[in-house]
Amino acid sequence: MTHLDNQQASYPHHNKPSAPSLLFEQIIVWTFTQKAPPIATPSRCDAVAPVSQPIAGLLKLDFRDSGEFVAHPEVSTMACVAQPAAPLSIGSLTLTSPVVLAPMAGVTNVAFRTLCREQEREKMGSVSGLYVCEMVTARALVERNEKTLHMTTFAPDENPRSLQLYTTDPRWTYEAAKMIVDENLADHIDMNFGCPVPKVTRRGGGSALPYKRKLFGNIVAAAVRATEGTDIPVTVKFRVGIDDAHKTHLDAGRIAAAEGAAAVALHARTAAQRYSGKADWSEIARLKEHMADSGIPVLGNGDIFAASDAAAMMDQTGCDGVVVGRGCLGRPWLFAELAAQLTGRPLPPQPTLGEVTRIIQRHAELLAAHHGEEHGCRELRKHVSWYLRGFPVGGDMRRDLARVSTLADLADILAPFSDSPALADDADGARGRQGSPGKVVLPEGWLDDPEDDTVPEGADIMHSGG
């Protein structure tokens, strides 16, 4: 162990228990940076209390009912008691856990959302976050596209029901939002201005659209106008910008708030980055500071693969909540971990392979109920590699699962591993698509006039039932 005299510590987020107990013990790994006296107080801590032996390494804290701690001098240098994150209010909605499931095409259907909520309820005793359905196109919803309506399915006990719209036209935005209100389709409307896919941006949709400030404002205003007099909040999600030379997030946040949005969320990458590299959390901090007087929450998104990542993002940026996408692929229990981390409770243990096999089976059953058995089993196949990442199962099982077509076959394939106590290696590592950065494809002349509010031609029909 190395002595620390006159060094500054960098602290991971950690929690004290909310439930009464005689003694709660945590072991926390500390990391240390360059010499810089005095030791600074971490941003989410009430206090930093020095103890007698300044020794680096493991910090052992015993938390008591009173919230006080006993720091063991033989293995610690100081103690930090962190505060749970505040509940997140989005208009009429209040979330005990400031965590939102990001809409993901082909993933966040009613089956996956139900599974995430079941996992949170099983491990934490309640459902405390917001689970958003797959993105649907405003025009397709208004025209009652059969596939689109199927995608808006919610579980009977799902509350609040959250629906995300893809839209480029104030007219279709208003009509879709009004339909949601009149037919009681959802309790929350989010709007997607973050999609970086070329087939979307080349028509002026997704992450290309906030560059057109007036058009962007007109769309947000249309949704807010359609929900006036209701308890349905409208929120907006966008990226940092088109590329480093065309950043739009500060204007987008200001405009969204001015037009009545109840919250904004920022994916801390540009469209040009797509999902590559690292998210730049400093841009979330910039947006939060820029919108300090707006009175609405700012949520951060990008590179949250573990519960500690969410705490770190909130610590470093001051954001009011987090939006989680790729990090939950094959890990529907992540939301229980996030809820624990951000509400000051002990994290539930990582699931064993045996437990994961039961979760896979349950996911398949929910997909079958939503899509029919054959289609549901086909849908499950893309989740298999995410679920089994880091587990010692071998290629044969993975290949069998990639061809599964019935629930009975699935049960037979999983059965040999049902009692396995194995834990996944690198469970918190990055997952999902990453790819490479690339030039953003835009409509001709798109960058000429950011005040042009002309609706991009054909962008409102860019959907495949979604």
How do residues 348-357 score in pLDDT, each as one tens digit? 999 999 999 9
**Model confidence over 418-427: pLDDT tens digits?**
999 999 998 7
> To which residue do tokens 């001015």 refer?
258
Distance CA 360, CA 366 (A): 10
pLDDT, average across residues 150-171: 97
Of the candidate ranges 151-155, 165-169, 237-241, 393-397, the one whose mean pLDDT is the lowest: 393-397
Average pLDDT, the chain: 85
Q: How confident is the model at residue 62 (pLDDT cuts 50, 70, 90)?
A: very low
For the chain, what is the total number of helices (H) and then of strands (E)? 14, 19
Q: Is 116 helix (H, G, I), strand (E, B) or coil?
A: helix
Asked whether the predicted pLDDT for residue 194 surpasses 90, the reply is yes
Chain centroid offset of residue 79 CA: 30
Q: Is-contact 92 230, C-beta < 8 A?
A: no
Q: How confident is the model at residue 431 (pLDDT cuts 50, 70, 90)?
A: confident
Return the higher-pLDDT residue of 183 and 64.
Answer: 183
Helix crossing, 334-342 with 307-317: angle to 10°? 40
Q: Is-contact 101 95, C-beta < 8 A?
A: no
- Report pLDDT for 461: 65
- Report pLDDT for 422: 97
**Model confidence over 266-281: pLDDT tens digits?**
999 999 999 999 999 9
- Report pLDDT for 430: 78
Taking phi over 0 as left and psi of -120 to 50 as alpha, with beta for the rest, 91 belongs to left
Percent of the chain surpassing pLDDT 90: 76
| Residues involved in catalysis | 195
Q: Is 80 helix (H, G, I), strand (E, B) or coil?
A: strand
What's the burial of 35, exposed, middle or buried (CB within 10 Å: 0-12/13-18/19+)?
A: exposed
- Report pLDDT for 427: 79
pLDDT, average across residues 30-41: 33
What's the burial of 395, exposed, middle or buried (CB within 10 Å: 0-12/13-18/19+)?
A: exposed
The encoded tokens of residue 116 equal 């995430």
What does the H/E/C string look like for 368-427?
HHHHCHHHHHHHHHHHHHHHHCCCCCHHHHHHHHCCCCCHHHHHHHHHHHCCCCCCCCCC
**Model confidence over 304-346: pLDDT tens digits?**
999 999 999 999 999 999 999 999 999 999 999 999 999 999 9
- Report pLDDT for 231: 97
- Report pLDDT for 95: 95
- Report pLDDT for 118: 98
Percent of the chain surpassing pLDDT 70: 81
- Report pLDDT for 179: 98
**Model confidence over 72-112: pLDDT tens digits?**
433 333 333 357 888 999 999 999 999 999 999 999 999 99
| One-letter amino acid of 177 | A
Return the higher-pLDDT residue of 85 and 239.
Answer: 239
- Report pLDDT for 460: 72
- Report pLDDT for 33: 32
- Report pLDDT for 58: 38
